[in-house]
Each structure stands twice: as structure tokens, then as C-alpha cells.
């Protein structure tokens, strides 16, 4: 191994470790919405999230990271994870639970991402589903995210072991001068405008739902869906994006999206809306979605726009809504590519 295997940007690996910060955002509410009651979804409880965070910490410190900050939450995931590592004083001394207010809403994830970005985090590990990733993406800027699936809809996050995720996050954080595209891929995003003003964004899909109340935020009944805008849509996905995904697949790296018009008099397809739940959906029309173009939301009112599976924006009579696809969403760590680069760089050699 050459000297480049343990030097980065003029600093040795230990110096970079001192300066690098990895953030952890573990959402205690992920995977607990009504879809768990009406489907056969796997449950990742908060005790398992504590265990995942503990494994993350062990891997991060074994890989050279020396600064970690964890989002506070009402369950105390960070505190419980550290409590189980009391015999590892070096980890406890260098890991803190951020001093942030806890509101027990998606605001916590957004605030933590914004805080970690300002603190100079080199990578943020996220435990949650698509909704959590969406909240974090709104606050993280260009800080790379490594999402671990613990939610109901898991199009963005992956089922990756915490130990492996920790090693990958460490490599990204310790090598800030490596070209971002070598270790990550950029996710697309869907920008939502209401009456001419941009109000929110989604990562996977925006669905128009025939309802005048937000109520239970999660969407699980296909007969309420009228229109779907998707940045990625594949038959391997669960949720609203699967509606266009079973007839017009669009991959995460494809430079476009897809729109589906849903109607009872459309051609029926079987769609995996929720874990263990295939339902019949009538699709009237499917069209491509190009970046940078504003696409109008159908005029059905009253209605609600669901962003990445959760009802967020109520539409009243006279409201005009539009959706625009952009390619400049959050950077997501490619775990396999990153660890192969780490092998090539000699990260796992000792001595």
C-alpha cells in the first residue's frame, strides 16, 4: 500500500479523524404509523434501533472516527446506546447527544440535520423510512446521508447492517477530498408549489389523495389516490410509487420521472401498496416527467397531497398546485462502492 492509503488532502488519517464529525439521526417514530396495523410490515422497534446505533458507534470508532453527535429524542435512543457502551470510555467521551429541543415530530429530524450540517458533519447516518429521509434531506444540504431502513416505506433507505454502515460512513467522513460522485449518488427530488409558491418537497413521490382531512398521515388505501408524481418508480418498491412502477419503471439514476393518472375506469393493475398487500388500481394514463418543468396537479378538490407516503398539504377549492422534478437532491452514500474504495485505499489494514 502506498502512502496515499493513509493520507488525505495533506493530513494523515488520525488528523482527519479528529476534525471529522459523523451525525446519527434515529427516528423513534419510524415504522409506527397505521400501515403497521393494516398490513404485514416488519417492525423495527426502538430497542432494535438502540442496538443498531450501538453497532454504528463501535464501527465508526473502529474505523477512525473520533467525533459523533446523535439526535435527541423522546425515547432516548442515543442515551440508551451509550449506556450499553459504558465499558468503552473512548466512545462515551467522544460521543454526545446534541443539545436540541425535542418536539416528537418530523421537525426533530429536520432540525438535527440542519444542526449537523452547521457543525461540519462529514456524513449523517439516518435510521427511518422515506418520511424520515425526506425530513433530513430538507436540512442536510450537501452532507452525504447513509439511510438505514427502519420505516414502513423504504424506497430510499436500505436494509444495511449497522456495522457495515458505520464503516462506510466513517470512510466518507474521513475522506472529504474524495470526489463525492465516487462514493455517493445524488437522489432526485420533487418540489411542490402551492399557488405559485414553493412549499415543500418529496424524494420519491407526491400523491394526490381524495380527502379533505390530513387525519392519519400515512396513506395506505389505493382507492383514495387520484394522481402520482414519482422521481423513481419500480415494481420492487412498496408504496404509491409502485403504481406507475408496475407499468412504467423509472430507476433512481434515470434522468426523469413519471406521472400516473389513477381512475376506476382505467386499466387495472396489481400493485404492492403496502407490505403483504397487493391491490387493484385503475391506471388511466402514464406520462414521462422531465426535470425543470412544472406539472399541474389535477383539479380535484378538496384533496390532500401526500409526500413520500404521508399526508402533508391540504388543497381547497381554488388552490393551484404544481410539482417539479429536479436532479439535485441529497447525496446518498453507496455503501458497496464506498467500501470497495476503502479496500483499495487500505482502510482495513492494521499497523
CATH number at residue 11: 3.40.50.10330
Give pLDDT, residue 36: 46
Does residue 131 lie in a domain region? yes
Number of domains in the chain: 2
> Do 177 and 34 sit in the same domain of this protein?
yes
pLDDT value, residue 320: 98
**Do the domain assignments include residue 350?**
no
Residues 155 and 298 in one domain: no
In a domain, 22, yes or no: yes
Co-location of 123 and 258 in the same domain: no
In a domain, 202, yes or no: yes
**pLDDT digit string (tens) for 97-140?**
999 999 999 999 999 999 999 999 999 999 999 999 999 999 99
* Residue-averaged pLDDT of the chain: 90
Count of C-beta atoms within a 10 Å radius of residue 1: 10
127: helix, coil or strand? strand
Same-domain status, 336 and 203: no
Is residue 351 in a domain? no
- Return the CATH number at 236: 2.60.200
Checking if the pLDDT of 31 tops 50, the result is yes
Length of the chain measured in residues: 351
Q: Within this chain, do residues 72 and 219 fall inside the same structural domain, yes or no?
A: no
Residue 14 has pLDDT above 50, yes or no: no
**Could you say which DSSP state residue 157 is in?**
S
Distance, first Cα to last Cα, the chain: 12
Nearest Cα to Cα of residue 123 among 21, 19, 16:
21
CB 219 within 8 A of CB 202: no
64 within a domain of the structure (yes/no) = yes
In this prediction, residue 275 carries a pLDDT of 82
The domain in which residue 228 lies consists of 189-326
Residue 134 CB coordination number (10 Å) = 28
pLDDT of residue 106: 93
Residue 229 belongs to some domain of the structure: yes
Question: Same structural domain for residues 244 and 311?
Answer: yes
Are 215 and 195 within one domain? yes
What cell was used for 42? 416488519
Amino acid at each position: 500500500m502506498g502512502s496515499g492509503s493513509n493520507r488525505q488532502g495533506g493530513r494523515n488519517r488520525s488528523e482527519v479523524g479528529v476534525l471529522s464529525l459523523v451525525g446519527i439521526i434515529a427516528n423513534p417514530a419510524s415504522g409506527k404509523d397505521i400501515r403497521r396495523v393494516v398490513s404485514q410490515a416488519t417492525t423495527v422497534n426502538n430497542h432494535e434501533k438502540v442496538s443498531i446505533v450501538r453497532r454504528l458507534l463501535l464501527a465508526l470508532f473502529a474505523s477512525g472516527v473520533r467525533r459523533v453527535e446523535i439526535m435527541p429524542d423522546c425515547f432516548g435512543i442515543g442515551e440508551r446506546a451509550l449506556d450499553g457502551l459504558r465499558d468503552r470510555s473512548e466512545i462515551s467521551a467522544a460521543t454526545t447527544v446534541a443539545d436540541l429541543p425535542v418536539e416528537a415530530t418530523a421537525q426533530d429530524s429536520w432540525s438535527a440535520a440542519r444542526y449537523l450540517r452547521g457543525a461540519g458533519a462529514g456524513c449523517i447516518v439516518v435510521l427511518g423510512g422515506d418520511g424520515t429521509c425526506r425530513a433530513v434531506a430538507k436540512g442536510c444540504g450537501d452532507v452525504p446521508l447513509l439511510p438505514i431502513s427502519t420505516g414502513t416505506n423504504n424506497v430510499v433507505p436500505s436494509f444495511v447492517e449497522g456495522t457495515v454502515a458505520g464503516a462506510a460512513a466513517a470512510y466518507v467522513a474521513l475522506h472529504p477530498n474524495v470526489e463525492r460522485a465516487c462514493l455517493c449518488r445524488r437522489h432526485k427530488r420533487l418540489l411542490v408549489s402551492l399557488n405559485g409558491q414553493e412549499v415543500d418537497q418529496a424524494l420519491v413521490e407526491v400523491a394526490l389523495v381524495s380527502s379533505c382531512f390530513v387525519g392519519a398521515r400515512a396513506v395506505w388505501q389505493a382507492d383514495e389516490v387520484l394522481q402520482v408524481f414519482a422521481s423513481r418508480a419500480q415494481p420492487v418498491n412498496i408504496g404509491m410509487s409502485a403504481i406507475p412502477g408496475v407499468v412504467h419503471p423509472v430507476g433512481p439514476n434515470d434522468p426523469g420521472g413519471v406521472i400516473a393518472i389513477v381512475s376506476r375506469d382505467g386499466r387495472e393493475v396489481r400493485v404492492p401498496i403496502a407490505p403483504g398487500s397487493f391491490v387493484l388500481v385503475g391506471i388511466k394514463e402514464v406520462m414521462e416527467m422531465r426535470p425543470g418543468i412544472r406539472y399541474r396537479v389535477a383539479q380535484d378538490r378538496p384533496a390532500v397531497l401526500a409526500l413520500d407516503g404521508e399526508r402533508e398539504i391540504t388543497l381547497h377549492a381554488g388552490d393551484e398546485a404544481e410539482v417539479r422534478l429536479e436532479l439535485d437532491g441529497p447525496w446518498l452514500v453507496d455503501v458497496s462502492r464506498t467500501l470497495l474504495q476503502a479496500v483499495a485505499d487500505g482502510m482495513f489494514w492494521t499497523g
